[in-house]
Amino acid sequence: MSKSKRRLPFVGLMALTVLMGGMVSCSKPPGTNNPTQPGEVTLRYGPFNIPGMNQPSTGLASLMPLLGMTPETGMVWNQPVTNVQKPCNACYITGMQAGLEYADRSNANINTGVWLHHMVLMSQGAGKSDPTCATNGFSLPHFAVGASGATAERIFASGNERTALEVPANLNYGYPVAAADRFHLLVDLMNENEAPKQVYMTIKYKFKPTATPGIRPVKPLWLDINQCGTSEVKAKTGKYNYKSVPWRSTLNGPFIGVGGHLHDGGTNLTVDVNGQVVCNSEAKYATKPEYISGGGGMDHGDGGMDHGGMMEHISEHTVCYNIGQLKTGDVVGITANYDDTQHAQMVHNGKLHNVMGIAIGYVGQ
Ligand SMILES: [Cu+2]
């Protein structure tokens, strides 16, 4: 897709500005204060009410036509939630993992017809600037939370596979959080039940104190086949791939880790630096029972899928660690590989669901 085609039209900007008046904003407790010991905390965000599968989507769904997309039902589509609770006011985050649960804290997943379709966590504050969208002029995810690529950075994302990203134990790095930084979320949820569902999104954070001797900050790096846009592209059939626009690195430091995100039908996502593949993040299917749909856990028995029957979904994505050194000027790209002869793609409301190809990595500073 060309860059200009991805740019939000003026009308879209107007509509978005109006919508943002109705944006969810949490009045939140101040979070754990300055921790003095390494720790772990799971924060709960929400609740989010996902419409039933035949009811109009909420969130920013009314923008979909302006973005050239067909509106879908049964989704909380990219709901911005600004100024959410942080795991600590001054610390280094060393691990993150997203989840989805019902009010009673039981797991909300595909086997009950509910998806953490994706979530994006951003940080806004002094020195925050998104390496791959800062100079883009317009970046949809940043704009949606009232920021820009030059004032906020995407620090974490997850799909329903809920991959944990963690600094390896032998490395003394973390993502710095300052008291004045503000965290924002984009939350995208899907419901395959007739009835609406209420859920909470969770993030389990691991952190270290700011005063940890010798600790160094990481910069998050977001690579995407539809960078600074919706991250979505149209699904094709058969064996196909999508590549990102190559990005010339502005970062210089150890490439600590990177993990991929694909939709069903995806086989693997590769990250390349100067034409050499440095990571192959593989999608694994149905390695846990809650990643099989059509088993009867939904309120109309057949799994709510248009195609009926059992279907296996991505339940894990491998993560690469200790990738080597990333240098200023290196050319970095990703390739998202799909093959629907190996794994079925999602059909939602009778049409192929859009696909994604995202990799989020961390570079030591
Ligand atoms: Cu996705």
Q: Which residues fall within 8 angstroms of residue 31, CB to CB, at 6 or more apart?
A: 85, 86, 87, 88, 89
CA of 267 relative to ligand 1 center, distance in Å: 14
CB 205 within 8 A of CB 349: no
User: Which range is most confident: 56-70, 108-122, 294-308?
Assistant: 108-122
CA of 35 relative to ligand 1 center, distance in Å: 33
Q: What is residue 298's predicted lDDT score, i.e. its pLDDT?
A: 55
- What average pLDDT does the structure give for the chain? 88
- pLDDT tens column, 81-97: 999 999 999 999 999 99
CA of 37 relative to ligand 1 center, distance in Å: 35
CA of 160 relative to ligand 1 center, distance in Å: 8
Q: What is residue 293's predicted lDDT score, i.e. its pLDDT?
A: 85
CA of 94 relative to ligand 1 center, distance in Å: 23
| Owning domain of residue 190 | 3-364
- The DSSP element (H or E) to which 97 belongs, if any, is strand 91-101
**What's the half-sphere exposure (Cβ side, CA atoms, 13 Å) at 57?**
25
CB 26 within 8 A of CB 85: yes
Q: What is residue 67's predicted lDDT score, i.e. its pLDDT?
A: 80
Strand partners, 360: 222, 259
Q: Which band of pLDDT confidence, cut at 50, 70 and 90, is reported for residue 72?
A: confident
Q: Which band of pLDDT confidence, cut at 50, 70 and 90, is reported for residue 351?
A: confident
* Nearest alpha carbon to residue 220 among 327, 349, 363: 363
Q: What is residue 330's predicted lDDT score, i.e. its pLDDT?
A: 98
CA of 192 relative to ligand 1 center, distance in Å: 16
- pLDDT tens column, 135-177: 988 999 999 999 999 999 999 999 999 999 999 999 999 999 9
Strand partners, 268: 282, 337
SS3 100: strand
Average of per-residue pLDDT across 286-312: 66
Cα–Cα distance between 211 and 30 in angstroms, integer?
A: 20
Asked whether residue 124 carries a pLDDT value surpassing 70, the answer given is yes
* Nearest alpha carbon to residue 159 among 353, 363, 351: 353
Q: What is residue 227's predicted lDDT score, i.e. its pLDDT?
A: 93
Backbone angles phi, psi at 291, to 5 degrees: -100, 20
CA of 33 relative to ligand 1 center, distance in Å: 33
| Both tokens assigned to 278 | 């440095």
Entry field: residues in the chain: 365
Percent of the chain as helix, strand, coil, to the nearest 5: 10, 50, 45
Asked whether residue 23 carries a pLDDT value surpassing 90, the answer given is no
Q: What is residue 299's predicted lDDT score, i.e. its pLDDT?
A: 55
Average of per-residue pLDDT across 200-223: 96
Helical H runs in the chain? 3-6, 10-20, 140-144
CA of 112 relative to ligand 1 center, distance in Å: 19
Nearest 5 degrees, angle CA 158-CA 162-CA 166? Answer: 85
User: Which range is most confident: 33-42, 277-286, 288-297?
Assistant: 277-286
Residue that wins the pLDDT comparison between 224 and 16: 224
Asked whether residue 187 carries a pLDDT value surpassing 60, the answer given is yes
CA of 114 relative to ligand 1 center, distance in Å: 14
Cα–Cα distance between 318 and 269 in angstroms, integer?
A: 10
Q: What is residue 62's predicted lDDT score, i.e. its pLDDT?
A: 83
Residue showing tokens 């940890």: 212
CA of 141 relative to ligand 1 center, distance in Å: 13
CA of 265 relative to ligand 1 center, distance in Å: 12
CA of 331 relative to ligand 1 center, distance in Å: 24
Asked whether residue 35 carries a pLDDT value surpassing 70, the answer given is yes
Average of per-residue pLDDT across 214-231: 95
* Nearest alpha carbon to residue 62 among 14, 106, 27, 16: 16
Q: Which band of pLDDT confidence, cut at 50, 70 and 90, is reported for residue 19?
A: very low
CA of 32 relative to ligand 1 center, distance in Å: 30
Of the chain, the percentage scoring pLDDT greater than 90 comes to: 76
Residue showing tokens 């996902």: 50
- The DSSP element (H or E) to which 251 belongs, if any, is none
Asked whether residue 2 carries a pLDDT value surpassing 70, the answer given is no
CA of 105 relative to ligand 1 center, distance in Å: 24
The per-residue DSSP string of 224-275 comes to ETTTTTTSEE---SSEEEEEPPPEE----EEEEEEEEEE-TTEEEEEEEETT
Cα–Cα distance between 4 and 9 in angstroms, integer?
A: 9
Of the chain, the percentage scoring pLDDT greater than 70 comes to: 87
- pLDDT tens column, 53-69: 999 999 988 888 888 87
Asked whether residue 11 carries a pLDDT value surpassing 90, the answer given is no
What is the greatest pairwise CA distance in the chain?
A: 56
CA of 108 relative to ligand 1 center, distance in Å: 17
Q: What is residue 26's predicted lDDT score, i.e. its pLDDT?
A: 44
Q: Which band of pLDDT confidence, cut at 50, 70 and 90, is reported for residue 295?
A: low
Domain count within the chain: 1
